[in-house]
Amino acid sequence: MDDPDGYFGQHVAATYDDSTDDEFTETVIDATVDFLTAQAAGGPALELAVGTGRIALPLARRGVPVHGIDMSRAMTDRLRAKPGGDQIPVTLGDFATTRVEGDFTLVYLLYNTVMNLTTQDAQVACFENAARHLTPGGRFVVEVLVPQLRRLPAGQHVVPYHAGPTRWSYDVYDTATQATTSHHVHVADGRGEHHSVPFRYVWPSELDLMARIAGLRPAGRWAGWAGEPFTGESERHVSVWERPVG
Ligand SMILES: C[S@@+](CC[C@H](N)C(=O)[O-])C[C@H]1O[C@@H](n2cnc3c(N)ncnc32)[C@H](O)[C@@H]1O
């Protein structure tokens, strides 16, 4: 991937906010912002992978000062063009390693984006970077899916998850490295156009170890923003770790 915007160049940024995913509904955005406002506990927040400001903007409107890191100029240009976007300082760079000025009571990374870091080392570096930005007592919040490997019958490594007249989507898993690639074929006029995005799936318990390596300790895990209990059937989680005081 030679594009400095990574997999979130102009063509993705242009339609990112038109998504019909639940994450873009007012209900989910309000619940996310309620949760993050409480975790920020009156201090400033740093969003890793701030994107187009889906959450940063409403969080800032609640009175939480937000700083963002993102590698995509195309995505962050969209943020800047929105009302209030000029109030969110953004640092362009890799969120696993980029250091910004200041300390934060909240660092957060949403919507499965920890999986955009495609190696375990990069994911560990991200936890270390989050910890570096936290005040003592500050919180790191990650929202990410639980890997759905139970959908993989023995001997199979491909999971189709959308098959409609205009789009086919499927994930290809390498269970040795936890590398996953999402493939999409867009069909128009009988012709298909293919693109793919690499991820690395990561287990909740593995994230706890990454947090421990970074000097953070668990402060809660839920199945959603409203504090739903996390169980063996949960398909995603909102996890919180804390930088110990002293
Ligand atoms: C799915 S979007 C999430 C944006 C926003 N956090 C949200 O919840 O709507 C993923 C974002 O992560 C950014 N990104 C992916 N990998 C990155 C990396 N290693 N460093 C910085 N930004 C990255 C992309 O540019 C994109 O804006």
Instruction: Kindly report, residue by residue over 174-218, the tens digit of the pLDDT.
Output: 999 999 999 999 999 989 999 999 999 999 999 999 999 999 999
Rounded to whole angstroms, the Cα distance separating 8 from 245 reads: 37
- CATH superfamily, with its number, for domain 10-147+202-242: Vaccinia Virus protein VP39 (3.40.50.150)
Q: Residue 5: which pLDDT band, with cuts at 50, 70 and 90?
A: confident
From the CA of 15, how far away is ligand 1's center (Å)? 15
- Pocket residues: Cβ below 6 A from ligand 1: 6, 8, 49-51, 54-55, 70-72, 75, 94-96, 110-111, 113, 116-117
Residue 187: strand, helix, or coil: strand
From the CA of 49, how far away is ligand 1's center (Å)? 4
Residues 149/173/221/122 CA torsion (nearest 10 deg) = 160
Boundaries of every domain in the chain? 10-147+202-242, 149-197
From the CA of 240, how far away is ligand 1's center (Å)? 19
Residue having the nearest C-alpha atom to atom 27 of ligand 1: 51
For every residue of 157-186, DSSP letters joined together read -EEEEEE-SSEEEEEEEETTTTEEEEEEEE
Give the global pTM: 0.96
pLDDT given for residue 17 in this prediction: 94
Instruction: Kindly report, residue by residue over 42-95, the tens digit of the pLDDT.
Output: 999 999 999 999 999 999 999 999 999 999 999 999 999 999 999 999 999 999
